[in-house]
């Protein structure tokens, strides 16, 4: 099957996560890793993310990828916003320590910055995800999901990534209070900011893929009849 949708990520794990979320939509149940591919499939270099918000950065990535591939492109940008820090780390969450993707260093720095704030009310935070769809004809849709909660004082759990080990969601899938990293992938997907954003975006993806299929298989118009015959 030819690719139908491209995701602005070089992380194969995120592709699997997004497919899992989108397949909950009945009309997207046939999506798999041959019809949904990541940017690396086309060798597209990531653009400079110089937006001031999660939504702006998601659109920057989706626009660049759709333009380069000619396919509907989906991108997301997400991070952690801590109330007492004015919303930081925010769009800088992945590189809070100064280096991109160093989860351990990011966690250590954030816990150190909050060390004097031990009351739960002073450790309120939320994960935010903006998911964007850009189609080859220029249609753009952005949906935002949030997962509120608070931060622990030490890391717990072996699932997830990023700040998951120190984040306790308000909306727990069971009666046991756990960090995001202590939730199974299915439990996390039932409540996460990313799942909320992509589920909200799913109808726009359905419409884009339906339009794509109609364009690909539309019959060739018949030539007008020769009036002299």
Q: Of 32, 77, 103, 164, which residue is the catalytic one?
A: 77
Q: What is the pLDDT of residues 77-87, one digit of tens each?
A: 999 999 999 99
- Second-level CATH architecture of 5-215: Alpha-Beta Complex (3.90)
- Over residues 115-132, the pLDDT tens digits come to 999 999 999 999 999 999
Distance CA 103, CA 80 (A): 13
Highest-scoring range by mean pLDDT, 36-40, 107-111, 213-217 = 107-111
77 is catalytic: yes
Q: For all residues of the chain together, what is the average pLDDT?
A: 88
Sheet of strand 5-7: strand arrangement: 36-38, 5-7, 73-82, 124-134, 140-151, 167-169
Q: What is the pLDDT of residues 166-216, one digit of tens each?
A: 999 999 999 999 999 999 988 998 999 999 999 999 999 989 988 765 554
pLDDT class of 226 with cuts at 50, 70, 90:
very low
State the DSSP string of 148-212.
EEEE-SS---SSS-TTGGGEEESS-SSSS---GGGS-HHHHHHH-HHHHHHHHHHHHHHHHHHHH
């Amino acid at each position: 099957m030819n690719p139908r949708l491209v995701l602005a990520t070089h992380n194969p794990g995120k592709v699997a996560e997004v497919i899992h979320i989108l397949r909950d939509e009945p009309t997207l149940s046939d999506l798999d890793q041959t019809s949904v591919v990541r940017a690396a499939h086309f060798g597209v270099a990531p653009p400079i993310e110089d937006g001031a918000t999660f939504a702006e950065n998601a659109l920057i990535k989706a626009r660049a990828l759709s333009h380069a591939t000619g396919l509907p492109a989906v991108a997301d940008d997400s991070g952690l916003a801590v109330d007492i820090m004015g919303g930081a780390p925010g769009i800088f969450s992945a590189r809070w320590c100064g280096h991109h993707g160093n989860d351990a260093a990011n966690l250590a720095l954030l816990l150190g910055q909050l060390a004097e704030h031990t009351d739960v009310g002073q450790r309120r935070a939320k994960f935010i995800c903006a998911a964007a769809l850009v189609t080859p004809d220029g249609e753009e849709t952005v949906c935002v999901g949030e997962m509120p909660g608070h931060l622990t004082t030490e890391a717990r759990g072996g699932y997830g990534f990023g700040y998951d080990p120190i984040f306790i969601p308000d909306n727990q899938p069971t009666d046991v209070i756990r960090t995001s990293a202590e939730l199974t992938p299915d439990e996390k997907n039932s409540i996460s900011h990313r799942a909320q954003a992509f589920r909200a975006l799913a109808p726009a993806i359905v419409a884009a893929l339906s339009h794509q299929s109609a364009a690909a298989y539309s019959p060739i118009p018949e030539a007008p009849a020769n009036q002299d015959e």
